Amino acid sequence: MGADRPDFGRRTRSAQGPKLRVMAGLLSVVSLATWWVYRTDDPPPPDDGHDRLVDELVVEVRGAVPTPGFHAVGLPVTVAAALAAAGVPEVTDDRPVPPGSRIDFDGEIAQLSAMEDTLVVGLPLDLNAATSAALQALPGVGPARAEAIVAERSSHGPFTTVDELVRVKGIGPKTVDELRPFVEVAPTVP
């Protein structure tokens, strides 16, 4: 009797359909409840571009100091704080020291300049201050390319952006992108 019935293309419903809908609903409820329990009402802190995990900078101190070399100095970094870290506590020079700076101290006067090899302390190299030897520490930069960067800077003036590295013969946009994490054009130190 069942075999004589005409089949109009209808499929029989699976008993799994309602079970799957119930399971999906339960999963949604559990997900919503988990979100509700673990949500935070505190707004995210404003992003001012400063890394909050850094509370000190490395400064290079040279000259007439008891312990010349690289010193970690707590923020805010001043000339006096850097010289105190190098063993000269009696200096009262409150000039700020930018990241990647070097202090040359002759016993009376402290002069700020850019570090020659900022990669030592994990900072990008300043394209306008780095020596040929410092530039050779960059990935893919050998003696010839480093000399070409220095020569370009000397003959055509300082770089105003990292993208201007394409002025150097043999450096294209792809090489600039590879070097970008390791170099910068820093503002001049007063």
Rg of the chain on CA atoms, in Å: 31
Domain parsing of the chain, residue ranges: 56-114, 123-184
What percent of the chain is predicted at pLDDT more than 70?
73
pLDDT band, very low/low/confident/very high, at 67 (cuts 50, 70, 90): very high
pTM of the model: 0.45
| Phi (first) and psi of residue 110, to 5 degrees | -105, 125
Longest Cα–Cα distance of the chain, Å, equals 113
Residue 122 and residue 58: Cα distance in Å, rounded?
A: 9
pLDDT over threshold 50, residue 21: yes
Q: Which range has the worst mean pLDDT, 28-37, 73-82, 147-156, 175-184?
A: 28-37
pLDDT over threshold 50, residue 52: no
Predicted local distance difference test score (pLDDT) of residue 59: 86
Predicted local distance difference test score (pLDDT) of residue 41: 59
Whether the link from the prior residue into 89 is cis, omega within 30° of 0, is no
- Quickly list DSSP for 108-129: S-EEEEE-S-GGGGT-PEETTT
pLDDT over threshold 50, residue 57: yes
| Residue in the block written with tokens 């799957």 | 20
183-184 and 125-126 strand pairing: parallel
69-74 and 101-105 strand pairing: unpaired
Q: What b/e sequence results for 26-63 when a residue is b if at least 16 CB atoms lie within 10 Å of its CB, and e otherwise?
A: eeeeeeeeeeeeeeeeeeeeeeeeeeeeeeebbbbbeb
Cα torsion through 52, 53, 56, 60, rounded to 10: -110
| Cβ contacts of 59 within 8 Å, gap of 6 or more | 70, 71, 73, 77, 82, 85, 97, 101, 102, 103
Nearest to 115 by CA among 150, 160, 74, 70: 70
pLDDT band, very low/low/confident/very high, at 71 (cuts 50, 70, 90): confident
Q: Bridge-partner residues for 110, per DSSP?
A: 105
Q: Give domain 123-184's CATH architecture.
A: Orthogonal Bundle (1.10)
Predicted local distance difference test score (pLDDT) of residue 66: 94
Using alpha carbons only, what angle is made at residue 113 by residues 112 and 118, rounded to the nearest 5 degrees? 125
pLDDT over threshold 90, residue 50: no
Q: What is the pLDDT of residues 103-146, one digit of tens each?
A: 999 988 999 887 776 666 667 888 988 888 888 878 888 899 99
